[in-house]
Chain A
C-alpha cells in the first residue's frame, strides 16, 4: 500500500527541539521529492520545507530562519524534520507530502495523516 506515516509529534516547551519522521512505503522513495506542510489549528496550509529525491537540494520557508532542517534517509525510506528553538506559533499539525516527481517543483500527490506538535509551557 502506498502510504506516508508521520511520527514524533508531541508537547514541547518553548525553546525546545523535536524531530519528526515520515515513513514511506509502497513506492520508490528516492525517486520523489518530499515536503513538510503544516496547518495551525483552524488555519490554512503552510509549506514548511522540501527536499529533492537525492537529498542534495533543500528548500525552506523564509519564516523558519534556519530553525528547521529537513533531511532524508533513502536506505530507510524515511523523511525527517529537525525543529529547534520552537515557538508557540509553530504549534500545528505537520504533514509529510510526496512530490509527484523527482523534481521539487511539482504538486503533492500523497499526504500522510499528520502529527500534532504543540509548543507550550
Chain B
C-alpha cells in the first residue's frame, strides 16, 4: 500500500500569516502517460464531512478561495494557505488515488496562534 505521511501533525499560525502542510508518499503519484499527480487535499471542520480543496495536486476545486494552493510532484506535495483566516481552522488531509487501496495522510490540525 502507498503510505501517505503528513507533516507537521499540527500547527498554529497567526491570522493573516502563511500555513504550510507537507505530504510525502511512499511511491510516486505521477502517472507518466498523462503527466498528472494523483493527489488530492481535503479540509474537515469539526462535525462536518471532508471537503475537496485541491485535486491533481494543484488544481483548485470550484468555490475554493484562492488563498489555498497545492504544489509538488512525484512523492512530495504541499498545501499552502497564503493568509490564514479564522474559518480555515480545520484538519487537512492529503489523499492518493494513484493505486488502490486509496490512502489518506494522518491529517494536520491547523489552529490560530
Contact = CB atoms under 8 A, between A and B. Distances in A.
Contacts, number: 61
Interface residues of B, number: 25
Given A95-B50, A111-B50, A111-B51, A105 B38 contact: yes
Interface in B54-72: 55-56, 61
Interface residues of A, number: 25
Contacts of A105: 38, 97-98
Interface of A: 35, 37, 44-47, 50, 59-62, 95, 97, 100, 104-114
16 contacts: A44-B107, A45-B50, A45-B104, A47-B102, A47-B103, A50-B100, A60-B101, A61-B101, A95-B49, A97-B50, A100-B52, A106-B97, A107-B52, A108-B40, A108-B42, A113-B49
Interface of B: 1, 38, 40, 42, 44, 49-52, 55-56, 61, 91, 93, 95, 97-98, 100-107
